[in-house]
Amino acid sequence: MATLEAIQRKIERLRAQAEKAATQQNSAVIERIRGIMEKHGLTVADVVAHLGERRGARGASKGNAAQVGLQGKGKLPPKYRNPATGETWSGHARPPRWIAGVKDRSRFLIDSGNTSGKRAVKAAVKPAVKQTVSAQAKGKLPPKYRDPKTGATWSGHARPPAWIKNVKDRSQYLI
């Protein structure tokens, strides 16, 4: 009967033989591939580009469900264009630096020619509604009184400013 040490030595020899056989087989396959690539004038970049195209057409061969879902949707059409560089942005996800701080993005809109008048009117009305809602959400109230000399305004809530603080009849300052 064989001892444990003898069996372990035999396993190590067989592993070494298997690694050697795999290395020889891989190098033979690589040489055949290299020969075919030279014969047809292909580069590694050509092969990688071809694999990338095929994966996009079939869907992802590997990866998690989120990656597969994103690849299936495709790229969104651009909605905004930077006139200086020609860079585009779809309007989704994080905005690029060239448009991130801009309040009125309408000057960067791409005229696709297929927008209906109804959509254009809806887009024009939407920012005004947003500003009113955001002003109310922040707790700002519309002005109720205006100083005719300076143009300063006051909503009528909280502490009154100095220009209206001691006035008995505030009706002359109503907007």
Its pTM surpasses 0.75: no
pLDDT of residue 18 exceeding 80: yes
- The whole-angstrom separation of Cα 92 and Cα 11 is 58
- The whole-angstrom separation of Cα 167 and Cα 173 is 10
Strand partners, 146: 153
Cβ-count burial of 162 within 10 angstroms (0-12 exposed, 13-18 middle, 19+ buried)? exposed
- 64-108 pLDDT per residue, tens: 544 544 455 668 888 999 888 888 988 888 999 989 888 888 889
Shortest CA distance to 60 belongs to which of 50, 71, 51? 71
- 140-158 pLDDT per residue, tens: 788 999 998 888 999 888 8
Cβ-count burial of 80 within 10 angstroms (0-12 exposed, 13-18 middle, 19+ buried)? buried
Shortest CA distance to 79 belongs to which of 125, 115, 55, 45? 115
Element at 78 (helix H, strand E): none
